[in-house]
Amino acid sequence: MHPVAPAARKVPPVLWPLLFGNFVIGTGVMVVPGTLGDIGASLKVSTATAGQLITAGAVLMCLSAPFFASVVGGMDRRRLLALSMLWYAMLHAACVLMPTFGGLLPVRALAMAAPAIFTPQAAACAGLLVDPAIRGRAITFVFLGWSVASIAGMPLGAYIGGVLGWRAAFGLVSMLSLVSALWVWWALPHGIRPAALSWSSWQSAFRSRALMLCVAVTVASSAGQFVLFAYFAPYYQTVLDVSPSALSTLFLIFGAFGLIGNLLMSRYIDRLGAARAVLVGLVAMALSLLLWPLGNSVWLAALIAIPWALGCFSSNSAQQARLVALAPGLASGSIALNTSAMYAGQAIGAGVGGWMIAVGSMQELHWAGLAGMALAIWLSRLAAEAAKP
């Protein structure tokens, strides 16, 4: 194997608009958990009902990610990614104008077509823009946008939602989406067209035990997180009686360590190996869920959430790199399936969490989350065994 030149190891500037796009996507996805209380109060629905915004959006993203991976197979990625962010901008602007929850729900769900396209296709595109030796680093770098969303976008959205209302927070997402669309259009080169996925390619992906076990890991870990993560704002407001500024601070601390976790993952994943990196992230999140009942003050709650934050975004970044490494030729499809699995898990987790809150079990959410994380750890070990030659 020939050594890679130092210049080839550097992250090229063209990846920055993809990172920013994921930041905007992540901010838009997480704006609902951050403003859930205000949405419910403003539109006169319960917390559990308002939480269905997360479930509906997650279901749409789950079902549409593989569909879009097939439909847009040969489309120029510059055009595709820019148009998906323009769609995100327009639909979030429409959400601002919705007078009732019944009107907001379908518009918000339709807006989630953009994450179903942008996140997997940006990751697949990143793998084509760099030397294969740093493909894992490039993919985790692009996914840093989600971590930055957690440190800046989610706390900002929660604060704006708490002070100015959820409509202002959705308006912010719309404006950022427009900026992202313009930057992608300006910065990405023409002619980035991954090979279209044929039916035989999809069959190869579905027949791969290792790939399908990895996808199952994502479903279980995402469900385990969103049982509680989807209801962070009402949970903290109910259990700890936090103010909007304290809630924003909790999100900020969570996001800061989420960013640190992804930075560490981006730096060490090629050395550590994607499978082992995923396992480290899952165990860290399980630790937080195990210790969750001890968080009876704002600062204890923030401290206990740190391992979760470190593993939250970094484990999914590693999952995407793991899928690409297992089958580079199926990257567009496998990452789309992983995205679908992530949102399927979100829908399951948010739905289970909403049901538990409706029956008065809000303070038991973490145990359901821990069960999901334990399942994910077991499945990840099975996937590692299946990937061995």
Asked if residue 199 has pLDDT above 80, the reply is no
CATH number at residue 348: 1.20.1250.20
**Distances, alpha carbon 372 to alpha carbons 168, 216, 217, 221, 369, in Å:** 34, 11, 9, 6, 5
The total of structural domains in the chain comes to: 1
Task: Let me know if residue 203 belongs to a domain.
Answer: yes
Task: Let me know if residue 4 belongs to a domain.
Answer: no
Task: Let me know if residue 1 belongs to a domain.
Answer: no
Task: Let me know if residue 177 belongs to a domain.
Answer: yes
Average pLDDT score over residue span 92-119: 93
Query: Residue 340 is part of which domain span?
Result: 12-387
Cα end-to-end distance, the chain, whole Å:
20
pLDDT digit string, tens, across residues 221-273: 999 998 998 888 788 888 888 887 888 788 888 888 988 888 888 777 778 88
Asked if residue 358 has pLDDT above 60, the reply is yes
Task: Let me know if residue 317 belongs to a domain.
Answer: yes
Q: Is the Cα torsion angle 239, 244, 245, 248 positive or negative in sign?
A: positive
- In contact, 187 and 81? CB cutoff 8 Å: no
Task: Let me know if residue 233 belongs to a domain.
Answer: yes
Asked if residue 1 has pLDDT above 60, the reply is no
Task: Let me know if residue 47 belongs to a domain.
Answer: yes
Q: Give the global pTM.
A: 0.72
How far is residue 114's CA from residue 94's CA, in Å, rounded to a whole number?
A: 14
Position 343 scores a pLDDT of 79
Q: In this predicted structure, which of 315-324, 327-336, 375-384 has the lowest mean pLDDT?
A: 327-336
Mean pLDDT of the chain: 84
pLDDT digit string, tens, across residues 33-67: 778 888 988 999 987 888 888 888 888 877 777 77
Asked if residue 3 has pLDDT above 60, the reply is no
Asked if residue 330 has pLDDT above 60, the reply is yes
Asked if residue 174 has pLDDT above 90, the reply is yes
Task: Let me know if residue 5 belongs to a domain.
Answer: no
Closest CA to 19 of 116, 148, 121: 148
